[in-house]
């Protein structure tokens, strides 16, 4: 039986799942330490997280498919990460892509449609009827990702601080912000 590992790596969590070619999961979801855009060495961070979560003594798998919101920037670095994931899991091959790609594939099986990956960050991927991809945002919560949990929370905190400083209108968030940040 052909067995693989699916990895869902967003900014708020990293999860692994062992799945057979029949489509049934042989184990539940394995939560792993999160890897973030802000990690200095993404390769080391992913290897440490997945090694710690995958463990040793498992039967090798045929393929690892990883949808990651924080992909290493160069193709050479992605190749290195792919080889290391094969070493960790005993896999014959690794497929790496942005997490919006795996979310779209899961929702639309390669057909046209729009998917939003919303959490700490946000990305929108649409495939139109001609097969053309349209990707919006996904630059990371520190750069853009409008509509993400990070951007919405930050906007609320900035509004509370402006009111606190006498620079903006009243907001219901001031009391919560002061409780949290002792202002």
Q: Per residue in 121-163, pLDDT tens? A: 778 889 999 999 998 876 776 777 777 788 888 888 899 989 9
Q: What are phi and psi of 156, to 5 degrees?
A: -65, -45
Give, in order, the Cα–Cα distances in Å from 100 to each of 35, 49, 51, 131, 135. Answer: 16, 21, 24, 16, 9
- Closest C-alpha among 155, 175, 176, 159 to residue 167: 159
Q: Residue 76 above 90 pLDDT?
A: yes
- Going by the DSSP 8-state scheme, the letter that residue 152 receives in this structure is H
- Closest C-alpha among 7, 124, 166, 19 to residue 71: 7
Q: Per residue in 2-55, pLDDT tens? A: 788 999 987 778 899 888 766 555 556 888 888 877 777 889 999 999 998 887
Strands, E assignment, 37-179: 63-68, 93-98, 113-118, 122-127, 133-137
Record the pTM: 0.73
- Closest C-alpha among 46, 40, 41 to residue 68: 46
Report the C-alpha gap between 111 and 73 in whole angstroms. 27
In sequence order, the 6+-apart residues with CB closer than 8 A to the CB of 120 are: 10, 11, 12, 141, 148, 149, 150
């Amino acid at each position: 039986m052909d067995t693989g590992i699916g990895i869902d790596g967003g900014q708020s969590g990293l999860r692994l799942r062992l799945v057979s070619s029949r489509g049934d999961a042989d184990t539940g979801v394995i939560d792993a330490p999160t890897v973030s855009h802000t990690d200095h060495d993404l390769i080391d961070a992913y290897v440490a997280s997945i090694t710690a979560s995958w463990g040793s003594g498992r039967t090798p798998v045929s393929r690892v498919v990883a949808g990651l919101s924080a992909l290493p920037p160069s193709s050479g670095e992605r190749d290195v990460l792919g080889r290391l994931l094969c070493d960790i899991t005993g896999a014959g091959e690794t497929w790496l892509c942005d997490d919006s790609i795996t979310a779209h594939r899961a929702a639309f099986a390669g057909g046209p449609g729009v998917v939003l990956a919303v959490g700490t960050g946000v990305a929108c991927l649409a495939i139109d009827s001609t097969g053309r991809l349209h990707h919006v945002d996904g630059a990371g919560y520190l750069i853009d990702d409008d509509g993400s949990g990070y951007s919405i929370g930050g906007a609320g905190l900035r509004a509370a601080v402006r009111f606190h400083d006498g620079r903006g209108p009243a907001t219901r968030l001031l009391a919560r912000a002061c409780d949290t940040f002792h202002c």
